[in-house]
Amino acid sequence: MIAVDNQETLDAVKAGLTKGNSWAEPSPLIIAFASRRDLDCQIPDGREYFLFGCGLAAMNLMLQATEMGLVAHPIAGYRQAEVKTALGVPDDCTVITLVIVGHPSDDLSGLSETHRAAETSERDRRPIKSVVSWNGFDFDDPVEEAG
């Protein structure tokens, strides 16, 4: 986990964000989760458990940030090579996610129309039956549902 609050480094990381994540520009803190496959158990059937461990760490960080009155939002919209260079992350590591951290605000003027609508609309979640199955895999094909 790499916490970034130095303005020069923040600017370099933010330069690696994709256009859709321009809302993160004002953030005073970005936390990068990076790891290597060999830093967690090696499961013989090919599962990469280090990803799960980093996911748990990110979720715990986000819960603590929320408890502290902050907003913490994970993103996948960044150019990994640029972020790795900005942070000095070695080639054999993967930057798994960035968590954008900041203070909540009612000022949505810096957001795009799309992001402003997402922030002010009701939460839209998948039905529980599409994400939970009991006693076996019983899900419809999400590609067919979207088509």
Domains in the chain, CATH or no CATH each: 2-146 (3.40.109.10)
Residue 145: is its pLDDT beyond 70? Answer: no
- Write the pLDDT tens digit of every residue in 41-86: 778 887 888 899 999 999 999 999 999 999 999 999 999 999 999 9
Evaluate if pTM is beyond 0.85. Answer: no
Task: Write out the DSSP string of 72-122.
Answer: EEEE--B-HHHHHHHHT--TT-EEEEEEEEE---S--TTS-HHHHHHHHSP
- Write the pLDDT tens digit of every residue in 82-133: 999 999 999 999 999 999 999 987 777 777 787 777 777 888 888 888 888 8
Contacts of 31 (CB under 8 A, 6+ apart): 1, 2, 3, 4, 58, 61, 72, 98, 99, 101
- Write the pLDDT tens digit of every residue in 8-52: 999 999 999 999 888 898 999 999 999 988 887 778 887 888 899
